[in-house]
Amino acid sequence: MQQQSSLQQLLSGLRDTTTAVSAAAWEFNRDLQSAGPETVVARATFLRGRCVAARSALPPATAKLSSRPDATSVVQAIRVLDRALADHCERGFRQSGPGQWPDSLRAWGPFRSRAITQAIQRYDVAAEKFAGKAGIKLGK
């Protein structure tokens, strides 16, 4: 029972973290083409911060779940999510490169945020399946 409670806390915490990233991605894309440059940059910076925070939660979760043979698919989904957050968010939303940053964010931001959201959705599905098999109710 203790282990089940610990798993529920772990999975619920990750869900809360990924929900925050998804919400920031949605906010980034909201009225992206008409938003001013300062707004676009502020939203990208906020999204990147959420991604950095989410990535810091993933290694401890992977370590805790890796010892469980029934958690293979959720561990794999966490690793895919980690790569997506690193590639499309941490690196993809950093301020660097040629051109005007707001214009680059407008051009590439929707693609990158979609990749992040898809990785989160894949993780959510894997986590729900794992939780169900482990007898854990995550709720919504």
- Tell me if 49 is assigned to some domain: yes
pLDDT tens for 105-121 read 999 999 999 999 999 99
- pLDDT score for 139: 67
Q: Crossing angle of helices 72-84/101-133, nearest 10°?
A: 170
Locate 120 and state its tokens.
């989160």
Q: Does residue 139 belong to any structural domain of this protein? A: no
Domain that holds residue 70: 2-133
Which residues lie closer than 8 Å to 115 by C-beta, 6 or more apart? 84, 87, 88
The token pair at 111 is 């693609």
Q: What does the pLDDT look like over 69-79, one tens digit per residue? A: 999 999 999 99
Give the pLDDT band of residue 129 (cuts 50, 70, 90).
Answer: very high
Q: What percent of the chain has pLDDT over 70?
A: 95
Cα dist from 139 to 16, 21, 48, whole Å: 11, 19, 27
**Number of independent structural domains in the chain:** 1
For residue 136, what are the contacts with CB-CB under 8 A and spacing of at least 6?
4, 7, 8, 11
Which of 115, 95, 89 lies closest to 37, judged by CA?
Answer: 95
Alpha-helical segments (H) within 30-100: 37-66, 72-84
The answer to the question of residue 22 being in a domain is: yes
pTM: 0.92
* Residue 138, domain member (yes or no): no
* 140 is a domain residue: no
